[in-house]
Amino acid sequence: MSGEWQPGHRLPNEHELMAQYSCARMTVNKVMSGLVTAGLIERRRRAGTFVSRQQTDSAILQIPNMREEVTSRGARYRYRLLARTVRTHVELEAETFEFFQGGPVLELECLHYADDRPFSYERRLISLAAVHHAEEADFSHFPPGTWLMEHVPWSEASHRIGALNADAEIARVLQVAVGEACLLVERRTWRLREGITQVSQFFPGDLYTLGARFAPDGQIRTRTNALKNLH
């Protein structure tokens, strides 16, 4: 949970953990099984046990990497940090205050480009109580979403998807007309019961779609995020 072991890190084997913690193999196995169930580690036959990459195909929506979303569709990715502010608990709305358990947060506004066109406008809050080293991170050159995926483990996420008409601020940043249809994706992630980050991402309606293919048994077959014609 501290992030000392990065995603992809190989864990010690059960015998090593038994010696380190002076406990029975059954205890170690029970703990490891619980971490697998929580999605924090993954077991690979004949290879060992590793810290999970924090992505799962069992979710209808994965947490996207914006650079990969753009470049995988043949466009050139570019990122810009628009604003960075530390907010205290007295400046947070009641629902946000509760999610972050009253602690200070880092507020970031970012813009992701596909070629020279704005692709996503991002408003993000990061808990400095849970992720204290985020305050020293250089987000002027590195997208916060990517940084979090690489440095901070999480155990649960929620998505909410909606549509809205761009107000003056969103229209200015995304370079669309006021009132133009936009897609809004709101997401929260937790580490066990501790709020890590909440983000709102705004996409021009003609650039981005979300979809999933599933069966009656609830199994997800494929997942697609389609970048439409940039021209």
Indicate whether 82 and 138 sit together in one domain.
yes
pLDDT tens-digit map of 160-203: 899 999 999 999 999 999 999 999 999 999 987 889 999 999 99
Tell which residue, 123, 95, 120, has the closest CA to residue 108.
Answer: 123
Q: Which residue has the higher pLDDT, 71 or 55?
A: 71
Indicate whether 91 and 123 sit together in one domain.
yes
Tell which residue, 155, 151, 149, has the closest CA to residue 35.
Answer: 155
Taking the alpha carbons of 25, 31, 37, 43 in that order, is the dihedral positive or negative? negative
pLDDT tens-digit map of 125-157: 999 999 999 999 999 989 999 999 888 888 888
Residue 35 lies in a domain: yes
Indicate the pTM of the whole model.
Answer: 0.69
Environment class of residue 193 by beta-carbon count within 10 Å: exposed (0-12), middle (13-18) or buried (19+)?
exposed
Tell which residue, 227, 154, 168, 224, has the closest CA to residue 196.
Answer: 154
Indicate whether 78 and 174 sit together in one domain.
yes
Indicate whether 90 and 161 sit together in one domain.
yes
Indicate whether 99 and 176 sit together in one domain.
yes
Domain containing residue 125: CATH number: 3.40.1410.10
Q: Which residue has the higher pLDDT, 39 or 54?
A: 39
**Host domain of residue 147:** 66-227
Indicate whether 113 and 223 sit together in one domain.
yes
pLDDT at position 216, please? 61
Indicate whether 79 and 133 sit together in one domain.
yes
Indicate whether 81 and 186 sit together in one domain.
yes
Indicate whether 43 and 146 sit together in one domain.
no
Indicate whether 77 and 104 sit together in one domain.
yes
How many domains are there within the chain? 2
